[in-house]
Amino acid sequence: MPASAPLQSGVPVQVPIRGTASSVVARVAGSEVSASDLILAWMQRDSMAVRRTMDELILDRIVIAEAARMGIDPGQEKVQAQVKRVRSALEEEVRRAGSVDVHEFLSQRMGLDPERYLMAVDHSALTDLLAERCVRSYTLGEERCEVALILCGEREAVDLVQSGLARGEEFAQLARAHSQDASSTDGGRVPAILRNNSALSRLAFHTEPGEVGGPLAQGGRWLFVQVIQRLESQRGPWSQMGPFVERSLEAEAISDPEYWQWKEAMLKLYEVDTGPLLELVGEPQGENP
C-alpha cells in the first residue's frame, strides 16, 4: 500500500508534506544561499537537533511502511478522535499565545501556509496511532517474559538482595528496598523482555517462571530478574490481531523500553541510509543511526 493510499476503513494515509525541489533558499547581493548552506549552519549550531529531526522523519516513514506491511488500520472513528485531540491542543496553544484564529496565527505569526501545516498536523496524528499499533503488534508477535527486576549499584546491595532471597523475602519487597531502577516503586515490574541476543534476555529466558536469575553484571551494576511468566508469540492478520491489540493498548500504554525494542528491530528490518544528508553538507560519513 503506497503512503497516499486509503486504509481499508477509508481513512487516507496522507503523504507527508514535502518541500520544493529547488536547493536555493535565498539570494543575497547576487549570491545564492543553498539548502546545504542552511543545513550545515544548523548542524554546526545544533547537530543534535538536526539528527533528532532526521530520526523523526525516518521513523515516520518506517511507521507508514510497517503499518502497510501488516495491514494495520485503527479505523476512521479513532483517527478522527485523534485528529480532534491534536487540533484542540493546537488551538489551546494559539490561545495561550494571545491569538484566537489558528489560520491567522500560522500565516501571520509563523509565516506558514495554514492548510499545509494542518495537513502535517493531521498526518502526525494518524502516524501516532499507527505507531502505537505497530509497536504493540511487534511486542505481541515475539516470545517474551513478564519480569520484575532489581538494579543494584553497589556490591553491598547485591549481598543484601541475595541474603534476603535466601531468607525467603518477597522479590517485590527487596526491589522497593534496594533497587536503583525507577521500577522499584512498583516492586520491580518492568515491560516484557523480548527474546533476543541481549544478556538480559538470555538471563530471563534461562530462568524458570517463579524463579530469580542473577546477579548479572552490567557496566558496574548488577541485575536480578524474577520471571513472572513466559508468553508465546501471537501473530496473524490485522483482522485477527486488531481487536487483541486494541484491548492491549487500552489496558497498558506503550512504554519507552517497549518502543526502544521495536525501533531497534525496525532499523534492522528496513534499509536506512542517512549518507545523503552528510554528503549534502560535506560532512564525513560514519555509521547510520
pLDDT tens-place string over residues 111-131: 999 999 999 999 999 999 999
* Exposed/middle/buried for residue 121 (C-beta within 10 Å: 0-12, 13-18, 19+): middle
Residue 13 lies in a domain: no
* Residue 157 CB neighbour total at 10 angstroms: 20
The residue from 209, 231, 253 where one domain ends is 231
Q: How far apart are CA 38 and CA 50, in angstroms?
A: 11
Looking at the fold, whether 75 and 180 belong to one and the same domain comes out as no
pLDDT at residue 3 in the model: 42
Residue 14 has pLDDT above 70, yes or no: no
pLDDT tens-place string over residues 174-217: 999 999 999 999 999 999 999 988 899 999 999 999 999 999 99
Residue 60 lies in a domain: yes
Looking at the fold, whether 108 and 242 belong to one and the same domain comes out as yes
Mean pLDDT of 9-33: 72
Residue 1 lies in a domain: no
Residue 6 lies in a domain: no
Q: For residue 109, what is the DSSP state?
A: I
Mean pLDDT of 236-243: 95
Residue 107 has pLDDT above 60, yes or no: yes
Looking at the fold, whether 43 and 124 belong to one and the same domain comes out as yes
Residue 3 lies in a domain: no
Give the number of domains in the chain: 2
The residue among 171 and 12 whose pLDDT is bigger is 171
Residue 5 lies in a domain: no
Q: How far apart are CA 225 and CA 174, in angstroms?
A: 12
Residue 182 lies in a domain: yes
Helix (H/G/I), strand (E/B), else coil: 158: helix
pLDDT at residue 5 in the model: 47
Considering the chain, what is the average pLDDT of its residues? 90
Percent of the chain at pLDDT > 90 equals 81
Residue 7 has pLDDT above 70, yes or no: no
pLDDT at residue 255 in the model: 87
Residue 229 has pLDDT above 50, yes or no: yes
Residue 1 has pLDDT above 90, yes or no: no
Looking at the fold, whether 127 and 175 belong to one and the same domain comes out as no
Which residue range is the domain that position 72 belongs to? 24-140+238-281
Looking at the fold, whether 38 and 135 belong to one and the same domain comes out as yes
Mean pLDDT of 228-240: 95
216-254: buried (b, 16+ CB within 10 Å) or exposed (e) per residue? beeeebbbbbbbeebeeebeeebeebbeebbebbeeeeb
Mean pLDDT of 46-71: 95
Report how far apart, in Å, the C-alpha atoms of 11 and of each of 8, 78, 80, 181, 243 are.
7, 10, 9, 41, 18
Looking at the fold, whether 186 and 247 belong to one and the same domain comes out as no
Residue 18 has pLDDT above 70, yes or no: no
The two beta strands, 212-218 and 31-34, are: unpaired
Q: Which residue(s) pair with 237 in the sheet?
A: none
Residue 288 has pLDDT above 60, yes or no: no
pLDDT at residue 269 in the model: 95
Helix (H/G/I), strand (E/B), else coil: 156: helix
Percentages of the chain per state (helix, strand, coil), in multiples of 5: 55, 15, 30
Looking at the fold, whether 64 and 131 belong to one and the same domain comes out as yes
DSSP string, 191-254: EEEESSSSHHHHHHHTS-TT-EEEEEEETTEEEEEEEEEEE------HHHHHHHHHHHHHHSPP
Looking at the fold, whether 67 and 204 belong to one and the same domain comes out as no
CATH classification at residue 175: 3.10.50.40
Looking at the fold, whether 128 and 253 belong to one and the same domain comes out as yes
- Residue 139's H or E segment, with its range, is helix 114-140
As given in the structure block, the three cell numbers for residue 107 are 500565516
Looking at the fold, whether 102 and 149 belong to one and the same domain comes out as no
Residue 6 has pLDDT above 70, yes or no: no
pLDDT at residue 13 in the model: 60
Looking at the fold, whether 51 and 109 belong to one and the same domain comes out as yes
pLDDT tens-place string over residues 128-161: 999 999 999 999 999 999 999 999 999 999 999 9
Residue 287 lies in a domain: no
Looking at the fold, whether 129 and 100 belong to one and the same domain comes out as yes
Would you say 142 and 173 are in contact if contact means Cβ atoms under 8 Å apart? no
